[in-house]
Structure 1
């Protein structure tokens, strides 16, 4: 299978997804928008798009014109019934491609907080894929409305819309792809925002003390990737 991913900043890459792609024998191509020679040509022939995170918002298209290009590519992939996985900003880009509103949330959610999963309607097939509850890493200040025709299947105390499924597409507002190195990179790049604090913002030491949870998160993501691959 040919998987193409969109990476928006140098410090938010595939994480554990890269190892899964390699062990499964998938062909992997990328568009790294932060590189001067970035090209999205390979996306047209991909079977599956993976959209990573980033600190920008979907509404920042004037500052980042490639957002418009990417949203249109995701729309085309959805029309062609291709598989799509969006993580954090990626879930917001996917929501926008599906016609939903994306906007600044009332509060930021940064750190390790639990999400509750529900398995109804289109998400019924995930009942043996994901646990009912899981502590995951969050880093977002935006949220989205659930797209028309999609099924929400995760919520947290700070943010009701944490995940949704639409046909062969899944959006995850949280990060379960992180490795110890990529978690550290994200925390380092967000140190000022983290230091500012908030009701749902953990501090650096608390975040980095919980790295044992990464393997649990990665295992859940591998289960989800296998599920999508089989659809």
Structure 2
């Protein structure tokens, strides 16, 4: 059986709607969670797929969160060996850092459901399934496009929303994995302080999750299927 290791920084920000797709494709899922003794104690090259999930911290906050130094080194080792990595939100920023890009505050909080503008490369690849569909944005940082990477998507507020490097590295600044039908209330409660400070209407966000959750889950599944089909597995 193939294996996927998911690095989880907040317990409710898990693989969500992507987990059933991975299981159907024959992947055994293992979570490594911040705070657990074995969070980063594994061979970074061992899993068939590494997924780096989101979290409400910045990749540049090593002073406050020392584990980030080890996590960046683990991801860099994985990248250097051209093993498949999917990064989501904080995971995308960590992947960008591993590729030598800069991550910094964007100057705004982009939180809520809004569609992407796909580049030509975005239209040509797995992200085409998300075209015209509101996806969940939930971040305050952004990154510069890593050298050699292909820009895949933008939003009206933030230019860098997704990139790929070769067939095995995919970074998504936005959330396609959030289960907006079954587990979204955990997001609203878990990030209550951030939502309040950003002036986000929680009721409207909950309603949007109800409207867009099912089509987003279906499109995310198709996107992941396409990306998995294209992996260069040695």
Q: Same fold (TM over 0.5)?
A: yes
Partner of 1:213: 212
1:121-200 map, 5 Å = 123=122, 125-126=124-125, 129-167=128-166, 168-179=168-179, 180-197=181-198
What do residues 12-41 of structure 1 show as CA deviations (whole Å, max 9, x unaligned)? 111112222222221222211133453431
Identify unmatched segments of 5+ residues in structure 2.
none
Cα offset, 1:142, TM superposition: 0.6
Partner of 1:2: 3
Identify unmatched segments of 5+ residues in structure 1.
none
Cα offset, 1:229, TM superposition: 1.5
- 8 Å Cα contact 1:71-1:97 kept in structure 2: yes
Deviation larger for 141-150 or 182-191? 182-191
Query: 2-side partners of 1:128 and 1:8: how far apart?
Result: 25
Query: 2-side partners of 1:133 and 1:185: how far apart?
Result: 26
Cα offset, 1:230, TM superposition: 1.6
Partner of 2:25: 24
- 8 Å Cα contact 1:129-1:220 kept in structure 2: no
- 8 Å Cα contact 1:31-1:40 kept in structure 2: no
Deviation larger for 52-61 or 16-25? 16-25
Partner of 2:222: 223
Query: 2-side partners of 1:42 and 1:124: how far apart?
Result: 35
RMSD of aligned alpha carbons = 1.8
Query: 2-side partners of 1:98 and 1:24: how far apart?
Result: 28
Query: 2-side partners of 1:7 and 1:127: how far apart?
Result: 24
Q: Compared with structure 1, are the counterparts of its residues 19 and 70 closer, same or farther at alpha carbon in structure 2 (3 Å cutoff)?
A: same
What do residues 70-92 of structure 1 show as CA deviations (whole Å, max 9, x unaligned)? 21111111121111111110100
What count of residue pairs does the alignment treat as equivalent? 226
Partner of 1:81: 82
